[in-house]
């Protein structure tokens, strides 16, 4: 930041402009960028996937949007909704690329809105966690998840915040795909109500309190 300011001051001095005014403008723009967040819910488009375990990312964002009375609009590479809270802008993104190409939508919206990876939270299902378990992490591998794998490929990084929602691994050998793309049981649907409420609070906490505080409060909750 100091280097950036020094260059600006030098150029402005050369041209005889007011350095103070222009520096304040740069600071303002930087602050605005810091206050913008991208929340990505992973899933597959299509009515047949709406209530499947693999679509928990979509489900959480739909729940959040409903609670906050905001609507998704079809835009490039996804469904997008905007939410404002205490001076911060939160963009909700449901990629319409299908799971395996999620990174294409993520990269586009990060660049379009000039949002840093640290201000992005990716919500995904996780077979390695018991149903409803919450794990928020600063970075990590794709864990065999095709959506995360594509994001990692296109961002060329594993260092971005993610919110893993446990769907458990209660399936027989060779039935993983059927299980992941299967619908929730009646008991799971009932338990989801409370889990969705907590997930909604996580989104707000990420934007207001930051990643570390959010992890401390919600991991294992």
Three-state SS for 19? helix
Are 126 and 167 within 8 A, CB to CB?
yes
Query: In the CATH scheme, what is the code of domain 36-218?
Result: 3.40.50.1470
Q: Looking at residues 118-125, what average pLDDT do you find?
A: 96
Could you list the active site residues?
A: 54
**φ, ψ of residue 204 in degrees (nearest 5):** -65, -40
* Least trusted range by pLDDT, from 53-57, 117-121, 131-135, 143-147: 143-147
* All structural domains of the chain with their residue ranges: 36-218
Long-range Cβ contacts of 17-23 (<8 Å, 24+ apart): none
* Of 11 and 84, more confident: 84
Res 133 pLDDT > 80: yes
Query: pLDDT by residue (tens digit) across 162-172?
Result: 999 999 988 87
In Å, what is the CA distance from 42 to each residue of 132, 151, 187? 16, 11, 23
Instruction: Select, from the ranges 70-74, 124-128, 175-179, the one with the highest average predicted confidence (pLDDT).
Output: 70-74
Predicted model pTM: 0.84
Contacts of 208 (CB under 8 A, 6+ apart): 85, 86, 88
- Residue 172 has what pLDDT? 77
- Residue 221 has what pLDDT? 82
Query: pLDDT by residue (tens digit) across 20-59?
Result: 444 344 344 445 556 999 999 999 999 999 999 999 999 9
H or E element in which residue 124 lies: strand 120-126
The position carrying tokens 């819910």 is 41
Res 74 pLDDT > 70: yes
- Residue 52 has what pLDDT? 95
């Amino acid at each position: 930041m100091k280097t950036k300011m020094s260059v600006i001051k030098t150029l402005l001095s050369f041209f005889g402009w007011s350095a103070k005014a222009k520096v304040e403008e740069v600071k303002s723009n930087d602050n605005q960028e810091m206050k913008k967040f991208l929340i990505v819910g992973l899933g597959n488009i299509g009515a047949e996937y709406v209530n499947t375990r693999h679509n928990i990312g979509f489900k959480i964002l739909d729940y959040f949007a409903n609670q906050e009375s905001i609507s998704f609009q079809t835009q490039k590479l996804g469904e997008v909704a905007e939410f404002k809270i205490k001076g911060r802008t939160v963009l909700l993104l449901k990629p319409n690329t299908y799971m395996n190409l999620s990174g294409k939508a993520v990269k586009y919206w990060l660049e379009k809105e000039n949002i840093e990876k640290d201000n992005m939270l990716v919500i995904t299902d996780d077979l390695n966690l018991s149903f409803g378990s919450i794990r928020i992490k600063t970075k990590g591998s794709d864990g065999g998840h095709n959506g995360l794998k594509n994001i990692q490929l296109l961002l060329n990084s594993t260092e971005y915040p993610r919110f893993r929602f446990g769907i458990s691994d209660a399936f027989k050998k060779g039935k993983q795909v059927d299980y992941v793309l299967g619908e929730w049981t009646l008991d799971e649907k009932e338990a989801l109500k409370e889990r969705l409420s907590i997930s909604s609070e996580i989104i707000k906490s990420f934007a207001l309190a930051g990643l570390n505080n959010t992890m401390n409060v919600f991991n294992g909750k």
